[in-house]
């Protein structure tokens, strides 16, 4: 869990969150809750550094996925992280894991980030997750390529309702950047590919994306549960 990515959509790596969540799958709820609280205490005792991998928001994302609601018609409340840059959906059943959206078991972070608004009671929220949810019994195993999962998410009516039309090109680049991070290093694409997409105009970002996506697909990558990463089953054909 110390490697869980924070709630920063522009740097988020879905694979890193999966590894943190899958470690806890099948455990007793009391043990999971204790571990989350212990990790949070460790973070609070340690001064924030530029090399620190996670923060409290990363632990919140772990809890969000590891404790699915017992009743799908009553999703658990979103984590108390502050005000997100995209408004939370009015109907939580359309986004039961908001701010995450798992596609074929690969979780995307659909918000760019949060602006803190007062003290965050994450311990109370962890306890509520454990009370109203149940620990995921099986690990999450992505069933499709990250680039295909990203395109599937962007095409959903729910995503298009969530993201205002004027902001869609930028948030599309954000989601695609997450897919590219999940695909590395198996896809052998530039390490800063995701950042590059977010800093280009929409037409150039689209052109670059098609090239990156082609490179990823040429590698025929699949999720490897043993390593908790996507691995390649083919040689690259980058043009």
pLDDT tens per residue, range 42-96: 888 876 654 444 688 999 999 999 999 998 888 888 887 888 999 988 888 889 9
The CA-CA-CA angle for residues 99, 100, 101, to 5°, reads 125
Rounded distance, CA 27 to CA 32, Å? 7
Categorise residue 36: left if φ over 0, alpha if ψ from -120 to 50, beta otherwise: alpha
Residues whose CB falls within 8 Å of the CB of residue 213, separated by 6 or more in sequence, listed in order: 147, 151, 176
Residue 117, Cβ density class (10 Å: 0-12 exposed, 13-18 middle, ≥19 buried) = exposed
- As a whole number, mean pLDDT of residues 186-213 equals 92
Residues 150-180: b if buried by 16+ CB within 10 A, e if exposed:
bbebbeeeebeebbeeeeebbbbbbbbbbbb
- As a whole number, mean pLDDT of residues 16-28 equals 96
pLDDT of residue 49: 55
Axis crossing angle, helix 56-66 with helix 29-45, rounded to the nearest 10: 170
Low-confidence winner among 12-16, 20-24, 113-117 (lowest mean pLDDT)? 113-117
pTM score, whole prediction: 0.92
């Amino acid at each position: 869990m110390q490697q869980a990515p924070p709630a920063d959509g522009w740097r988020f790596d879905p694979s890193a969150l999966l590894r943190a969540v899958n470690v806890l799958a099948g455990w007793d709820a009391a043990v999971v809750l204790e571990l989350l609280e212990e990790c949070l205490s460790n973070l609070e005792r340690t001064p924030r550094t530029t090399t620190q991998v996670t923060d409290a928001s990363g632990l919140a994302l772990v809890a969000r996925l590891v404790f699915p609601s017992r009743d799908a018609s009553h999703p658990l409340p979103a984590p108390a992280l502050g005000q997100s840059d995209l408004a939370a959906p009015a109907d939580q059943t359309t986004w039961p894991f908001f701010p995450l959206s798992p596609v074929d078991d690969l979780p995307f972070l659909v918000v760019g980030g949060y602006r803190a608004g007062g003290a965050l009671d994450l311990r109370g929220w962890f306890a509520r997750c454990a009370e109203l949810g149940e620990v995921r019994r099986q690990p999450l195993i992505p069933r499709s390529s990250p680039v295909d999962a990203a395109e599937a998410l962007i095409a959903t009516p729910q995503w298009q309702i969530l993201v205002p039309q004027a902001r869609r090109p930028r948030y599309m680049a954000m989601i695609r950047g997450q897919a590219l991070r999940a695909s590395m290093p198996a896809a052998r694409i530039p390490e800063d590919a995701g950042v590059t997409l977010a800093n280009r105009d929409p037409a150039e970002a689209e052109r670059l994306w098609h090239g990156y996506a082609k490179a990823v697909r040429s590698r025929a990558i699949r999720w490897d549960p043993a390593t908790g990463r996507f691995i390649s089953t083919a040689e690259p054909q980058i043009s």
